[in-house]
Amino acid sequence: VVYLVVFHLSFVMFVWSYGKTIFTSPATPSNEFCLSKADKEQYEKEERPESQQEILRRAAKDLPIYTTTASRAIRYCDRCQLIKPDRCHHCSACDVCVLKMDHHCPWVNNCVGFSNYKFFLLFLMYSLLYCLFVAATVLQYFIKFWTNELPDTHAKFHVLFLFFVAAMFFISILSLFSYHCWLVGKNRSTIETFRAPTFRNGPDKNGFSLGCSKNLREVFGDEKKYWLLPIFTSLGDGCNFPTRLVIMDPEQLAVSSQNEPAKSSVANQSFPTRPLSESQNRLLSGDCQWVETGPEEENVKSGAKKHIIVSLES
């Protein structure tokens, strides 16, 4: 009875996760990232890249975008005609921009991204457990086959085939699942592993990492009772993400840490504009402090650098 219950439960969860990974449509950017009709027409008329970038900068000034291309340009998709949110990439197979795109998986014939990344992880985990369960069940008959204790029937070849297939899939899936567990702990996608996102202070492969615990919650949600179920519980909207980006002058940081009155002197200053993910996301509630040396306009006039210190508790 226990054997049948475990077998059917693992099989049901495997099929459920696999189906959710396949049939969940990739999440795409919201309309706020699309250019207005006037900006789109002006962008298409311009021939100089500098003028096109100026149009994109004006359109993106109020958007929660903190990453750029390697050449410091606004990330824009000519195919979808929209400004790419952070961690968003265009999939040539699906021909859409996918939020927090990890990769296009041929095994599920779908993009793995923000909308179905949790389902993909559960699919790997339950397929891993299913292969392990099958291999462990057939192991005793496999041993009898090699010791010539198994009756000489056609079934012995079925046992041999089943054990080798389960063992081979277990080894291959184990390596893939381990790799994605490491990615979750680092809060990276497969694309970001090979090409680090570029922030205002340069490429930073750990720019979106908030610590292992918070990274895990960002994918699986706050309710642990739903972690093992193929139900969407990921935090955020996929368009903007909290970051641990630090833009500061090291000397200024040392002065700020030693001069307590300096903190009170800027207490009444206006705070810099923060993305929705940092002002509303539960991952950073109560854990994020912002300090600015002065209004941005005054810093530009005086030629001084703008210093923003973001401290995140691990």
Residue pair 10/126 in contact by the 8 Å Cβ criterion = yes
Buried-state track 213-223, b at ≥16 Cβ within 10 A, e below 16: ebbbbbbbbee
Copy the structure tokens of residue 21: 């990974």
Copy the structure tokens of residue 34: 């699309």
Which of 105, 131, 181, 212 is an active site residue?
A: 105
Residue 28 backbone dihedrals phi, psi, to 5 degrees: -115, 160
Beta bridge partners of 247: 308
- Counting Cα atoms < 13 Å in the Cβ hemisphere of 154 gives 0
Distance separating alpha carbons of residues 64 and 164, to the nearest angstrom: 50
Residue pair 208/197 in contact by the 8 Å Cβ criterion = yes
Distance separating alpha carbons of residues 178 and 169, to the nearest angstrom: 14
Q: Which of 117, 120, 158 is nearest to 141 (CA)?
A: 158
Name the maximum alpha-carbon separation found in the chain: 90
Please confirm, yes or no, whether 97 is among the known catalytic residues. no
Q: Are strands 103-105 and 308-312 parallel, antiparallel or unpaired?
A: unpaired
Q: Which of 294, 243, 273 is nearest to 60 (CA)?
A: 273
H or E stretch at 103: strand 103-105
Q: End-to-end CA distance of the chain, in Å?
A: 45
Contacts of 57 (CB under 8 A, 6+ apart): 74
Q: Using DSSP, state whether 52 is helix, strand or coil.
A: helix
The residues that are catalytic are: 105
